[in-house]
């Protein structure tokens, strides 16, 4: 990368910039003034609302516009936005009630679960169920308890979803089991690993269970991840998807705002031990740059030393950029995972695996990918050797060799 690309800011589109200003809970006087000036300009309101829906931030957008610019926004668009937010709020409350019942029933049966994202995230990070849309209930379960959890859900009217449709693919977080309750809007995802092509992050960790906390809503309490662990999970999840949706950045920013006294020693040590520290730094960098998320000086200094993270963070979410060709897209995620490996060793073990699998990244890398020439040279060396190995070595010997190459990110 050139020095110019290290310093220049990649601009957002006009509607995207307005969306970023509105997608937060707290409003400063300066931000209020900027929003009021912008809504008086030539905003493409249909495109703006479509962008807000795509990025999952309609509740935050309505809260901000109705508070600081309700006299300036065209009434028809504000009414349409309010109606959608009201419907979403009703669904959130309905799902939160179901979550409380499920947690109570799982506890009675001795099946440990921790809700992640969804209702508990809305409560912990936003302080309000209505400010964060969610459509399903993600439950972390020990892998050893998946069978018991599945049997219980099916006993109370849930059915296993075996068909992968468009909606389930959108929420796919890897090895999990999805259940839908008959004649209701309730969907439950049992999860123990977060994964993606070329990527895996273990959710069933002893530390998550040992440090879990109680989250109160609807006059009930349910288990939740400790804020430090939740922050790591949110950053890993967003980085896994190349931060495609602004709502994932908002989750990180609002968690940081509502928990100013996080144990940063725990965040840094845990993310380092789990091999995801640069994924976490990426999430923190984007949240700070886009949404002014507060970070301690020690974390800011660490991010500033990671020049590549600062540069890449300007390229996400790609759909908000004025020129989408400048962005990092989820289809390019293998290059992003490669770039965000915590160590040289992990990075090039991953590179060897990509070469062995003949990943498109090895021959057609994105222009922003720093190691494109090095990986191309490695691929030209490894791939002919791999073809010969497949031809002359027995499957047993090939399997032994392949086990030396890590299969997770």
User: Helical H runs in 109-204?
Assistant: 118-121, 146-155, 166-170
DSSP lists the bridge partners of residue 191 as 140, 176
Angle of the 227-240 helix axis to the 246-258 helix axis, nearest 10: 160
**Beta strand ranges found along 86-198 (DSSP E):** 114-116, 137-140, 158-160, 176-181, 187-191, 193-196
**How is residue 51 written in tokens?**
């962008």
Q: Dump pLDDT digits (tens) for 35-56.
A: 999 999 989 999 999 999 999 9
Other Cβ atoms closer than 10 A to 377? 12
Q: Report the SS3 class of residue 136.
A: coil
DSSP lists the bridge partners of residue 220 as 217
pLDDT of residue 162: 67
Region for 219 from its dihedrals, namely left if φ exceeds 0, alpha if ψ lies in -120 to 50, beta otherwise: left
Other Cβ atoms closer than 10 A to 253? 25
Residue 126 is given by DSSP the state I
pLDDT of residue 378: 87
**How is residue 316 written in tokens?**
């996400």
**How is residue 16 written in tokens?**
């995207």
pLDDT of residue 6: 44
Give me the residues of the chain with pLDDT under 70, please: 1-8, 162-175, 383-409
Backbone phi, then psi, for 393, in 5-degree steps? -100, 150
**How is residue 30 written in tokens?**
């300066």
pLDDT of residue 402: 54
CA 314 – CA 326 distance, rounded (Å): 9
- The model carries a pTM of 0.90
pLDDT of residue 4: 37
**How is residue 122 written in tokens?**
């809305």
Q: What is the third-level CATH fold of 100-225?
A: Beta Polymerase; domain 2 (3.30.460)
CA 252 – CA 395 distance, rounded (Å): 45
Asked if 177 contacts 150 with a C-beta cutoff of 8 angstroms, the reply is yes
pLDDT of residue 165: 44
């Amino acid at each position: 990368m050139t020095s110019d690309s290290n310093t220049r800011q990649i601009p957002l589109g006009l509607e995207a910039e307005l969306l970023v200003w509105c997608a937060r809970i707290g409003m400063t006087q300066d931000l209020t003034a900027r929003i009021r000036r912008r809504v008086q300009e030539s905003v493409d309101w249909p495109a703006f609302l479509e962008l807000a829906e795509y990025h999952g931030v309609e509740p935050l957008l309505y809260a901000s516009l109705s508070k600081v610019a309700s006299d300036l926004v065209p009434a028809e668009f504000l009414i349409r936005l309010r109606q959608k937010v009201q419907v979403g709020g009703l669904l959130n409350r309905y799902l939160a009630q179901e979550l409380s019942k499920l947690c109570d029933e799982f506890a009675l049966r001795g099946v440990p679960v921790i809700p992640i994202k969804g209702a508990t995230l809305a409560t912990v990070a936003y302080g309000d169920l209505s400010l964060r849309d969610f459509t399903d209930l993600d439950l972390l379960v020990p892998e050893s308890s998946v069978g018991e959890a599945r049997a219980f859900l099916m006993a109370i009217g849930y059915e296993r979803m075996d068909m992968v449709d468009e909606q389930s693919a959108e929420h796919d977080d890897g090895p999990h089991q999805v259940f839908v309750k008959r004649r209701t809007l309730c969907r439950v995802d049992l999860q123990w690993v977060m994964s993606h092509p070329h990527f895996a992050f273990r959710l069933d960790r002893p530390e998550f269970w040992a440090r879990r906390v109680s989250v109160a809503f609807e006059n009930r309490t349910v288990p939740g991840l400790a804020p430090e662990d939740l922050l790591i999970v949110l950053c890993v999840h967003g980085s896994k998807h190349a931060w495609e949706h602004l709502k994932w950045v908002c989750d990180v920013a609002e968690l940081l705002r509502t928990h100013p006294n996080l144990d940063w020693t725990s965040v840094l040590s845990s993310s380092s031990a789990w091999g995801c520290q640069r994924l976490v730094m990426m999430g923190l960098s984007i949240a700070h740059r886009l949404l002014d998320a507060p970070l301690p000086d020690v974390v800011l200094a660490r991010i500033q030393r990671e020049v590549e993270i600062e540069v890449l963070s300007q390229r996400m979410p790609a759909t908000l950029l004025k020129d989408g060709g400048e962005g990092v897209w989820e289809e390019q995620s293998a290059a992003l995972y490669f770039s965000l490996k915590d160590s040289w060793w992990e990075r090039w073990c991953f590179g060897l695996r990509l070469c062995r699998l003949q990943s498109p990244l090895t021959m057609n890398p994105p222009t922003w990918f720093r190691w494109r020439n090095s990986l191309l040279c490695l691929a030209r060396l490894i791939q002919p050797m791999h073809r010969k190995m497949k031809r002359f070595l027995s499957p047993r010997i090939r399997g032994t060799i392949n086990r030396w190459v890590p299969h997770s990110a």
